[in-house]
Every structure is written in structure tokens, then in C-alpha cells.
């Protein structure tokens, strides 16, 4: 029987990799200690979130690089520094370098699309959206507009609705709010006993944004990029 926390599949992968590289089978104690360290690193809460987040960003970039219209028209950059994109200032003094999850730059027009890729939208991220938008706006140097797009797979109706309604002054901060597949949350909200009365208002708002096109599908966003 396996020991507690034993992962035979991971152990086999690591053992095979070490043996093929060094030419001899590693000791069991060495493998056990190495697996504990690997699991500790991956299992750390922030590391886990980073793995999911960066995996989502890389997957979205991979799809864009396989979509012929975007490949033809855009430079697609994953996690670039903001000042490495055309039309943005470098950070001033000791200010921290600002990064973007994903950026698309139209080769013909120079138009910039800054994408916030969030598999889920926690409450702290709702604050981060405004902070990022303010930073992008203050560091814009060309005097030209840019798109700020949210791509998410969030299912919580209130958070989806809030993302659609998030404003700076009298303007919505997101040019577009994109869900991987809006049919998923739409079906979930329509299911019997799908939520409490407290959630009903969020569901109604989110469904309204889907109906108006404010909350759109990944497919529709891709098609807009090819227009």
C-alpha cells in the first residue's frame, strides 16, 4: 500500500528523469525528500495561484498565436513590462515595473490591447483592476487610446456583473469583458436551487450583461480582433 502523501506517478516521472540523466537509479530517501520539496513548492498557496494564472495566460496566448487573423495583424506578448510596449513611459524613480498579463499590438495601426487574464475574480482582484487601469493610464505617453480587456472563467454572478460595471469616473474601465464560455454560468444560474436570494440580484445583472453583449464569449472576442 502507498504511504500517506505518496505519489507513485510523480515518483516515477522524477526517478526516470534522474536515471536517464545520471545513468543510475536514485536512492529512495533522495527521491522521497525531493518529492516533499517539489510538493511544498507547488502546494504553496501563492505558487498554486501563480501556476493557474500563468497557465491561463500561456494558453490564451497559444490560442491567439494559432488564430490566423491575430497572427497576421498583431504582435502577441505574454507578461511584458508595460514600458516595453509602444506608447508607455518607463517607471519613474524607484517605482516598480508594471507588467501586463497579455498584450496585443496591431502592427499596422499601433493600437494596443492590454489583457487582464484571470481564471477567477477574487475580491482583491477587483481592487487590482482599478489600480492597474490607473497605472496604465498615467504611464500612457502617446496620447492615444488603448483597450483594456478582462478575460476570465469566473462563475460567481456578482463578480462577473461587477467586472462589467467597474467604472473610472463616468467610463467603464474594461473595453470588453470576456468569459471563456458564457453558456456555462448561464446554465448554472438557470438550474433549480442555483443560489440564495442574496445571489439573485447578481445573477439578474450578469444575465443582463450577457444578453446585451457586454459580457461576451471568447469566440466573439477573437472574431472582433479579426475585424
Query: Which of the four pLDDT bands, split at 50, 70 and 90, describes residue 96?
Result: confident
Q: In the chain, pLDDT over 90 holds for what percent of residues?
A: 57
What pLDDT, on a 0 to 100 scale, did the predictor assign at position 215? 97
Say if residue 195's pLDDT is above 80: no
Q: Structure pTM? A: 0.76
Query: Which of the four pLDDT bands, split at 50, 70 and 90, describes residue 12?
Result: confident
| Higher pLDDT, residue 108 or 29 | 108
SS3 of the chain: CCCCCCCHHHHHHHHHHHHHHHCCCCCHHHHHHHHHHHHHHHHCHHHHHHHHHHHHHHHHHHHHCCCHHHHHHEEEEECCEHHHCCCECCCCCCCCCCECCEEEEECCCCCEEEEEEECCCCHHHHHHHHHHHHHHHHHECCCCCCEEEEEECCCCHHHHHHHHHCEECCEECCCEEEECCCHHHHHHHHCCCCCCHHHHHHHHHHHHHHHHCCEEEHHHHHHHHCC
pLDDT in tens, 129-153: 999 999 999 999 999 999 999 999 9
Amino acid at each position: 500500500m502507498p504511504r500517506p502523501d505518496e505519489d507513485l506517478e510523480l515518483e516515477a516521472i522524477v526517478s526516470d528523469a534522474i536515471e536517464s540523466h545520471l545513468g543510475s537509479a536514485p536512492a529512495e530517501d533522495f527521491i522521497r525528500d525531493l518529492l516533499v520539496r517539489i510538493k511544498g513548492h507547488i502546494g504553496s498557496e501563492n505558487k498554486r495561484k501563480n501556476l493557474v494564472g500563468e497557465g491561463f495566460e500561456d494558453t490564451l496566448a497559444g490560442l491567439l498565436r494559432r488564430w490566423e487573423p491575430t497572427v497576421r495583424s498583431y504582435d502577441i506578448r505574454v507578461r511584458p513590462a508595460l514600458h516595453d510596449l509602444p506608447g508607455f513611459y518607463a517607471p519613474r524613480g524607484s517605482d516598480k515595473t508594471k507588467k501586463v498579463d497579455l498584450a496585443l499590438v496591431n502592427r499596422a495601426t499601433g493600437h494596443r490591447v492590454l489583457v487582464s487574464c484571470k481564471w477567477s475574480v477574487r475580491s482583491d482582484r477587483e481592487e487590482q483592476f482599478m489600480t492597474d487601469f490607473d497605472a496604465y493610464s498615467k504611464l500612457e505617453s502617446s496620447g492615444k487610446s488603448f483597450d483594456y480587456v478582462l478575460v476570465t472563467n469566473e462563475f460567481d454572478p456578482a463578480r462577473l456583473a461587477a467586472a462589467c460595471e467597474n467604472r473610472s469616473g463616468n467610463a467603464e474601465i474594461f473595453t470588453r469583458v470576456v468569459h471563456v464560455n458564457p453558456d456555462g454560468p448561464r446554465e448554472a444560474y438557470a438550474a433549480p436551487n442555483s443560489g440564495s436570494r442574496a445571489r439573485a440580484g447578481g445573477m439578474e445583472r450578469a444575465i443582463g450583461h450577457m444578453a446585451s453583449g457586454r459580457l461576451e464569449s471568447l469566440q466573439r472576442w477573437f472574431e472582433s480582433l479579426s475585424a
